[in-house]
């Protein structure tokens, strides 16, 4: 535990206080993971497709989320001189989750043919994500002050593994609800099915914030006074290693955001899979995060986040090779029959999910290690905002590729099926990871405390 850790009311933290706070944080994370699983992992993308949104509009869902990350900077400016971060965080985070009740209401009451419905959903997502991201930098700064660095990797790994169980439950529930509300003529889920999913998600999201409010906040280190706003914003990027980390994760997230949403669109369009089968893909990735969360956290504490992140960057494109071998056949396992594409992608998805989750752990760890206590809220805001801005073009680029990819090309993948827009996205993703994200991360000097 950091020495002389004092909360905002002037009370000292004991070792028991810190570990109790870590437990409450993990419980809240389970509720928040359920909210996330029932919104952005699959249901929202499929809802946008169900109401007739184009590829570009579907891409805009993710683009808006990432552009909203820039709200962290004005939030950091507003909070870095406050004596406490939690009141600001509580208000913005709670409103962020409550707006999902409005999204559920639109899905329930509005006919899917309304021309303004996609725009209305995008507007609510933009408002919700702006408020959510306004709460993020204060929260990250709060957690960086609270979680002891020597056990931070193991804590985030365990937290990720435990909370991912809630992700699994949310994915299963969402898939079952959407399949139960499908139109028998079109095999597409009806908007009211999505409304039920979004309403349950909103309840879980609000519960997450209410539980987390009980965690005490360490007294924040005073920010350097008297500097102009642009100096305060640019100061974190003046540190070489912090800047390289931000650029590396920006390239990584650009590529990842380009391929994640459109994998679902590709499978639904070309393989006619069910919503439960799409949910199974996310479940497979979540299983990978559960199984490896603690082990990757422990490895990170031993060898350092930079070394681990570099190895993972090298490995992740190999886990995506399975997309070249999927076909339209079925696989029989006892009394069960599965599409070969879903079976193969789920198997490899466990590995991919583990790698992606571990890279997220490396990002949390390195962002804490490479920032300084004075102005830490601004450092977190700048890092996550720039990563969001660099990656925000990914979904729009993916949507553009989908909408404009030429049909009838003579190219085939290894299974004999046509080479599609999604395979082009995977090639671009690999190039970004190996030739941009990886060299930038390798250029960082390992923090001395863990080198």
Instruction: Please state, in angstroms and rounded to a whole number, the distance separating the CA atoms of residues 234 and 400.
Output: 32
83 CB neighbour count, 10 Å cutoff: 11
Question: Residue 208 has which token pair?
Answer: 């997450």
Q: Chain centroid to CA 275: how far?
A: 20
Q: What is the DSSP string of 95-119?
A: HHHHHHHHHHHHHHHS-TT-TTHHH
- Residue-level pLDDT at 451: 38
Q: Which residue carries 């439950």 as its tokens?
A: 169
Q: What's the pTM?
A: 0.70
Q: Which CATH architecture has domain 15-220+229-450?
A: Up-down Bundle (1.20)
| 416 Rama class: left (phi>0) / alpha (psi -120 to 50) / beta | left
- Residue-level pLDDT at 110: 85
| 226 Rama class: left (phi>0) / alpha (psi -120 to 50) / beta | left
298 close to 358: Cβ distance less than 8 angstroms: no
- Residue-level pLDDT at 33: 93
421 close to 101: Cβ distance less than 8 angstroms: no
Per-residue DSSP letter, 219 = P
The residue extents of the domains of the chain are 15-220+229-450
Per-residue DSSP letter, 70 = G
- Residue-level pLDDT at 75: 86
80 close to 236: Cβ distance less than 8 angstroms: no
Q: Chain centroid to CA 371: how far?
A: 21
Would you write out the chain's pLDDT as a tens digit for each of its 451 residues? Answer: 555 788 888 899 988 999 999 999 999 999 999 999 899 877 888 888 888 887 778 878 877 887 888 888 888 888 877 888 899 999 999 999 999 999 999 999 988 778 889 889 999 999 999 999 999 888 988 888 898 877 877 888 888 888 888 888 898 899 889 888 877 665 566 788 899 999 999 999 999 999 999 999 998 876 666 567 777 788 888 889 999 999 999 999 999 988 987 888 888 888 888 877 877 887 888 788 777 766 787 888 888 889 999 999 999 999 999 999 999 998 887 777 888 999 999 999 999 989 998 898 899 888 888 887 777 778 888 888 888 887 778 887 888 888 888 877 889 999 999 999 999 999 999 999 999 999 999 999 866 543 3
Half-sphere exposure of 324 (CA within 13 A, CB side): 13
Among 418, 397, 400, CA closest to 409: 418
Instruction: Please state, in angstroms and rounded to a whole number, the distance separating the CA atoms of residues 19 and 21.
Output: 5
């Amino acid at each position: 535990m950091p020495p002389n850790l004092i909360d905002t009311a002037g009370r000292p933290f004991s070792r028991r206080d810190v570990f109790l706070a870590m437990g409450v944080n993990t419980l809240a994370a389970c509720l928040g993971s359920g909210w996330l699983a029932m919104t952005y992992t699959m249901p929202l993308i499929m809802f946008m497709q169900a109401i007739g949104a184009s590829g570009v509009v579907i891409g805009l869902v993710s683009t808006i989320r990432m552009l909203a990350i820039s709200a962290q900077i004005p939030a950091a400016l507003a909070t870095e001189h406050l004596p406490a971060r939690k009141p600001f965080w509580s208000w913005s985070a709670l409103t962020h989750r409550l707006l999902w009740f409005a999204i559920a209401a639109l899905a329930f009451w509005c006919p899917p043919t309304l021309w303004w419905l996609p725009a209305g959903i995008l507007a609510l997502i933009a408002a919700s994500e702006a408020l959510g991201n306004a709460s993020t930098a204060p929260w990250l700064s709060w957690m960086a002050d609270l979680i002891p660095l020597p056990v931070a990797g193991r804590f985030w790994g365990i937290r990720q593994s435990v909370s991912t169980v809630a992700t699994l439950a949310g994915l299963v529930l969402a898939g079952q609800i959407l399949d139960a509300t499908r139109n028998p003529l079109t095999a597409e889920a009806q908007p009211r099915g999505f409304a039920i999913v979004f309403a349950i998600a909103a309840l879980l999201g609000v519960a997450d914030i209410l539980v987390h409010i009980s965690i005490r906040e360490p007294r924040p280190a005073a920010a350097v006074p008297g500097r102009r706003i642009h100096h305060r914003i640019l100061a974190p990027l003046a540190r070489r290693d912090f800047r390289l980390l931000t650029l590396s994760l920006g390239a990584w997230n650009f590529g990842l955001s380009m391929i994640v949403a459109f994998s679902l669109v590709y499978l639904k369009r070309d393989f006619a899979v069910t919503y439960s089968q799409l949910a199974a893909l996310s479940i497979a990735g979540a299983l990978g995060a559960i199984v490896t969360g603690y082990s990757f956290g422990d490895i990170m504490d031993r060898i350092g986040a930079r070394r681990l992140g570099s190895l993972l960057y090298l490995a992740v494109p190999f886990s995506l090779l399975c997309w070249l071998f999927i076909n339209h056949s079925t696989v029989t396992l006892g009394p069960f029959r599965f599409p070969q594409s879903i079976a193969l992608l789920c198997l490899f998805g466990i590995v991919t999910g583990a790698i992606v989750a571990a890279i997220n752990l490396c990002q949390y760890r390195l962002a804490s290690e490479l920032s300084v206590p004075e102005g830490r809220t601004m450092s977190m805001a700048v890092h996550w905002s720039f990563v969001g801005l660099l990656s925000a073009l990914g979904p729009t680029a993916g949507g553009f590729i989908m909408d404009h990819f030429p049909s009838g090309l003579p190219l085939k993948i290894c299974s004999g099926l046509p080479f599609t827009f999604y395979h082009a996205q995977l090639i671009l993703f690999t190039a970004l990871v190996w030739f941009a994200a990886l060299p930038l991360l390798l250029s960082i000097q390992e923090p001395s405390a863990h080198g």
